[in-house]
């Protein structure tokens, strides 16, 4: 069947169906009552909701926004108050901390000022030195003692400035040892040394070096005390201890110390030495007849004559009463030189002693004991042999020299 014919046939069928449905509906309406039709219809829909008034809705939203802003403002106010409270607390703490820091700083400044004042007014010279040996501080006493002003020495080497050349190498070596191992013979101790002054002269001082460990290195505290007066006093005291207060000659103590030293030198140098034991003849009679003042004056004059007769390298000492003793060193010809010096002394007594308008004739008896290198003899034995020889001289008639043969053997 052609397509156009088939399509036209389908359209006719549809039209017939529509007509039939319309007839059926009309018949149905007629048969059913109005109520029945209404009962078959669905229930009426609820009324549509009424749309809100735009103005009312805007006001509500505005009120809600305002409420939110109010709540937010209250929250911000509370947060601000809390922040201000905390800031106040932090501020109080900071102020207290700053006040404490300022107080501590002022205290440190006061202490530093006091320390500088104490150091400047200190009797001893004060020098501070860093780990490199460079001078950091130099007080007024150091200026007066050594001659340099503070500005001239700060930043310079302490060793090169105040230590004489002969001490610098030992100082550098000891400081290096301390920095490497903590060991030292100078740090935290006192020792005597000579210090170099600006004019080049050397001054005896007592030096003490202290050490302070710092975070960034080392600090050394040096004190120097002038001991010139002390050495002078020590020398005077030593002279009192080692000299006879009446005659000014060496005393027994000094002789006892010097003799072993002389014997040791004789051994080292291979030279003969000798001891002369002298006793003034008839001294007791003169002392009793003329008085002790005359006797004391006689001893002093006798000592001077003996001192003039011997060499500067020799020594004379008063060991008791009118007993004098002489040490002769470095005798080139041994026995000959010793006897010649003994006779020279004896000849000095040929001249009378004029004391208090009195002319006193006094002779001397001398015993000689030799000490040759290699001799096994103690100092006491040598003195004993010289004493025995002096007794022999007295027994032989006084005013003579006797050589000890015991010492020679």
Nearest to 134 by CA among 112, 162, 164, 113: 162
**SS3 (DSSP) at 162:** helix
* Lookup result for tokens 């290198």: 373
Parallel, antiparallel or unpaired: strands 364-371 and 401-403 = parallel
Query: Cβ(360)–Cβ(289) under 8 Å?
Result: no
C-alpha of 22 from chain center? 132
> Of the listed 226, 281, 314, 322, which one is catalytic?
322
* Active site (annotated) includes residue 199: no
Helix (H) or strand (E) holding 180: helix 165-181
Distance from C-alpha of 320 to C-alpha of 246, rounded to nearest angstrom? 11
The secondary structure element, H or E, covering residue 11 is helix 3-31
Angle at 300 between CA 294 and CA 303, to 5 degrees: 140
Active-site residue list: 322
């Amino acid at each position: 069947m052609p397509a156009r014919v088939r399509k036209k046939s389908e359209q006719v069928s549809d039209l017939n169906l529509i007509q039939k449905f319309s007839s059926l509906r009309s018949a149905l309406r007629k048969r059913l009552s109005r109520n029945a039709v209404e009962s078959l219809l669905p229930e009426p829909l609820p009324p549509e909701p009424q749309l809100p008034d735009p103005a009312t809705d805007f006001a509500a939203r505005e009120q809600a926004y305002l409420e939110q802003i109010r709540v937010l403002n209250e929250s911000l106010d509370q947060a601000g108050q809390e922040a201000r409270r905390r800031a106040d607390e932090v501020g109080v703490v900071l102020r207290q901390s700053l006040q404490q820091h300022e107080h501590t700083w002022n205290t440190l400044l006061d202490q530093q000022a006091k320390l500088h004042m104490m150091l400047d007014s200190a009797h001893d010279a004060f020098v501070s030195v860093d780990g490199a040996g460079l001078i950091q501080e130099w007080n007024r006493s150091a200026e007066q003692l050594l001659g340099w002003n503070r500005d001239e020495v700060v930043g310079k080497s302490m060793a090169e400035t105040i230590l004489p050349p002969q001490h610098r190498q030992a100082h550098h070596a000891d400081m290096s040892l301390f920095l490497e191992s903590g060991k030292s013979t100078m740090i935290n101790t006192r020792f005597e040394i000579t210090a170099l002054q600006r004019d080049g002269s050397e001054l005896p001082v007592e030096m003490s070096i202290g050490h302070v460990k710092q975070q960034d290195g080392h600090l050394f505290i040096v004190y120097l005390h002038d001991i010139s007066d002390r050495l002078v006093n020590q020398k005077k005291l030593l002279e009192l201890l080692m000299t006879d207060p009446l005659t000014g000659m060496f005393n027994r103590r000094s002789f006892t110390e010097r003799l072993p030293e002389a014997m040791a030198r004789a051994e080292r140098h291979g030279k003969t030495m000798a001891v002369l034991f002298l006793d003034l003849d008839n001294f007791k009679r003169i002392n009793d007849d003329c008085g002790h003042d005359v006797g004391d004056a006689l001893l002093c004059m006798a000592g001077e004559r003996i001192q003039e007769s011997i060499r500067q390298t020799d020594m004379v000492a008063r060991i008791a009463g009118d007993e004098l003793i002489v040490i002769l060193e470095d005798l080139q010809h041994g026995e000959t030189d010793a006897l010649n010096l003994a006779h020279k002394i004896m000849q000095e007594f040929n001249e009378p002693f004029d004391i208090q308008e009195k002319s006193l004739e006094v002779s001397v008896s001398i015993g000689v004991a030799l000490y040759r290198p290699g001799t096994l003899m103690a100092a006491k034995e040598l003195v004993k042999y010289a004493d025995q020889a002096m007794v022999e001289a007295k027994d032989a008639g006084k005013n003579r020299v006797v050589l000890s043969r015991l010492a020679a053997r």
